[in-house]
């Protein structure tokens, strides 16, 4: 990863996303694909959404955006990917349109344009959190598909990176999140 940082410090990456069409989404699992769902005690179709490892989003411009999260920052992180991840033998690829290890809703996002972007900032829940960025999510509002949420544990209040939709965010977390539009 190169120049990985919290979303508010990667405005250049957010600008590349805004208005672009998503051509491909690839989750790079640290777990072998055949066991990605089982190792996390998840149904296989949740592997793309919930496995351990970063997401790469390929845009119609050819740019590739990386997303993950950093527990020490309580934040999602973004970067412009310049590495050839396909050659990394330590990572296993799961595509958004994989019929076994992903859900159809993620496949429906392919080809859709990013119409809006917002950063989800989480409230400081204790003294240790006050000095942390807490940018726990990035919402990509897509034309003609569900909003894509790049999440730092918003599905289960954990320290895990996940790729979800608004409906997957744990309901009890919404009151603790401030949605800051990117402009």
| pTM score | 0.91
- 73 pLDDT more than 90: yes
Q: How far is CA 58 from CA 14, 36, 38, 39, in A?
A: 13, 22, 27, 27
Average pLDDT over residues 155-160: 95
Please count the CA atoms within 13 angstroms of the CA of 146 that sit on its side-chain side: 16
- What average pLDDT is seen over the chain? 91
Q: Would you say residue 9 has pLDDT above 90? A: yes
d(Cα 42, Cα 160) in Å, to the nearest integer? 14
Tens of pLDDT, residues 113-149: 999 999 999 999 889 899 999 999 999 999 999 999 9
CA 39 from centre of chain:
20
Encoding tokens for residue 52?
């351990």
Q: What is the DSSP letter of 112?
A: -
């Amino acid at each position: 990863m190169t120049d990985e940082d919290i979303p508010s410090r990667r405005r250049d990456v957010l600008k590349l996303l805004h208005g672009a069409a998503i051509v491909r989404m690839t989750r790079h699992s640290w777990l072998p694909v055949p066991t990605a769902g089982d190792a996390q005690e998840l149904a296989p179709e949740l592997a793309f959404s919930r496995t351990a490892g970063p997401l790469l989003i390929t845009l119609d411009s050819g740019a590739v955006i990386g997303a993950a999260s950093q527990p020490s920052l309580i934040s999602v992180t973004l970067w412009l990917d310049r590495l050839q991840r396909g050659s990394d033998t330590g990572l296993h690829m799961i595509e958004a349109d994989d019929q076994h290890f992903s859900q159809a809703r993620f496949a429906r996002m392919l080809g859709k344009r990013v119409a809006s972007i917002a950063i989800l900032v989480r409230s400081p829940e204790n003294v240790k959190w006050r000095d942390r960025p807490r940018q726990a999510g990035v919402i990509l509002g897509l034309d003609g598909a569900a909003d894509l949420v790049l999440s730092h544990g918003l599905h289960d209040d954990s320290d895990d990176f996940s790729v979800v939709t608004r409906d997957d965010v744990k309901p009890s977390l919404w009151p603790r999140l401030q949605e800051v539009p990117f402009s």
